[in-house]
């Protein structure tokens, strides 16, 4: 009975949290989480939810404390690990952030659905001239931001082929081709693939920090036919 009452209260609190839109409303929700956590300090979901509230209030260090507590109480709480990852990255701690973000594959969320491909994921080991499929995940913005790592992989001597979102393939293929990088265009097939790498795993594999983000000065140019003269 007590667990049922908790679930009912939590559902109402989450509904209020989802509808909050101003700092005043977020603070009201925060107070309610503070109260229930005092009563039930061992519920990981409460720390995870309060973490989100604190993020909306831009209290990132406090939010990270709650994210840490959530995964301490529930070590396999995948979405809480993703929240922790985002906070580490936001605070500039990329090494911990991108490591934690590998938990996205365990969330079961459609946004994090892995590519179905029967080759191993590259983890940074020496693979010689073996061909790597560097493939898009999530949205267009992620594709544009993280395709820079294909250029870095090529610079390091890796044999990389890129799969982009079809809607922005022409733009990205135009830029990648200038670096001698092949793309798997619009559902085409490429033979000889030995490894794959999801785009948002590249910062972890390549050891990105704030100081060494590749091509931070720019890496994309508009196609000539779209430049107004």
In the chain, domain spans: 1-111, 132-214
pLDDT tens for 32-82 read 999 999 999 999 999 999 999 999 999 999 999 999 999 999 999 999 999
List the chain residues with pLDDT less than 50: none
**What is the per-residue pLDDT for 226?**
78
**What is the per-residue pLDDT for 5?**
81
**What is the per-residue pLDDT for 228?**
66
Are 195 and 131 in contact by the 8 Å Cβ rule? The answer is yes
Strands (E), the chain: 131-135, 159-163, 182-183, 193-198
Q: List the Cα angle 39/53/60 in 5-degree steps.
A: 110
**What is the per-residue pLDDT for 188?**
62
Identify the burial level of 11 via C-beta atoms within 10 angstroms of its C-beta, where 0-12 means exposed, 13-18 middle and 19 or more buried. exposed
Assigned token pair, 199: 């785009």
CATH topology for 1-111?
Answer: 1.25.40
**What is the per-residue pLDDT for 140?**
95
**What is the per-residue pLDDT for 82?**
98
């Amino acid at each position: 009975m007590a667990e049922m009452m908790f679930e009912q209260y939590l559902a109402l609190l989450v509904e209020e949290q989802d509808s909050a839109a101003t700092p005043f409303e977020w603070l009201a929700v925060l107070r309610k989480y503070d109260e229930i956590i005092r009563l039930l300090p061992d519920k990981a979901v409460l720390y995870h939810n309060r973490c989100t509230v604190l993020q909306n209030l831009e209290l990132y260090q406090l939010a990270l404390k709650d994210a840490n507590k959530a995964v301490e109480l529930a070590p396999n709480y995948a979405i809480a690990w993703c929240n922790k990852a985002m906070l580490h990255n936001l605070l500039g701690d990329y090494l911990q952030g991108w490591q934690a973000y590998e938990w996205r594959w365990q969330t079961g969320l459609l946004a994090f659905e892995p590519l179905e491909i029967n080759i191993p994921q590259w983890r940074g080991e020496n693979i010689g001239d073996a061909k790597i499929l560097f493939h898009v995940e999530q949205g267009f913005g992620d594709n544009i931001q993280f395709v820079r790592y294909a250029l870095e992989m090529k610079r390091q001597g890796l044999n990389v082929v890129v799969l982009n979102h079809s809607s922005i393939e022409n733009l990205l293929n135009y830029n990648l081709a200038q670096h001698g990088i092949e793309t798997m265009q619009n559902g085409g097939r490429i033979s000889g693939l030995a490894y794959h790498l999801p785009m948002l795993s590249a910062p972890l594999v390549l050891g990105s920090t704030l100081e060494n983000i590749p091509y931070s000065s720019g890496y994309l140019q508009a196609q000539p036919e779209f430049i107004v003269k």
